[in-house]
Amino acid sequence: MAKITATQKLIVEDFADQKDWIGKLFGPLNDFIINVLRSVNGGIEFSSNILGLEKEFDFSFVSDAVSLPLKVTWTLLQRPKAYYLVAAYENDPTVNNSFAPITLAANYIINAKNEIEMNGIVKLTSSGISGLTTGKRYKIIMRATP
């Protein structure tokens, strides 16, 4: 998507025959145009501008049966239609205290309690697919939108 360029402000002088009422319209309209341009040119934030839910999970993996599913309550009226695993990080607490980015894929469902469940999480690497590693700590950021 190309960047939207700023436009010339609307000014009353350009509409001299309508100046009695048009000045009242231009103030809010110019502010709106500026805010929209600012937003679409790098200012859009998921939590402020996009309807949905974002949740960060931080957990030490024991096993699928113990650590999964990861759950978060869906509070919007419309059912979620899209689920995104936005970021994932893995840490080996015996080696260091920093997290390394990893690629994960997961299965999502919405249960009868209106909770999004993330399970069936697998790690994707250049050498194949594996499950999560016992004893490692994971940080996962998930988003869902209606």
Domain count, the chain: 2
Residue 141 pLDDT:
96
Residue 22 or 73, more confident: 73
Q: What is the pLDDT of residues 59-107, one digit of tens each?
A: 999 999 999 999 999 999 999 999 999 999 999 777 777 889 999 999 9
Q: Is residue 6 very low, low, confident or very high in pLDDT (cuts 50, 70, 90)?
A: low
33 and 93 housed in the same domain = no
Global pTM?
Answer: 0.72
Query: Does the pLDDT of residue 24 top 90, yes or no?
Result: no
Residue 74 lies in a domain: yes
23 and 67 housed in the same domain = no
141 and 71 housed in the same domain = yes
16 and 85 housed in the same domain = no
Residue 1 lies in a domain: no
Residue 3 pLDDT:
63
Domain span holding position 75: 52-145
Long-range contacts of 62-69 (CB under 8 A, 24+ apart): 62/134, 63/134, 64/119, 64/131, 64/132, 67/132, 68/118, 68/119, 68/120, 68/121, 69/117, 69/118, 69/119
Task: Calculate the average pLDDT of the chain.
Answer: 88
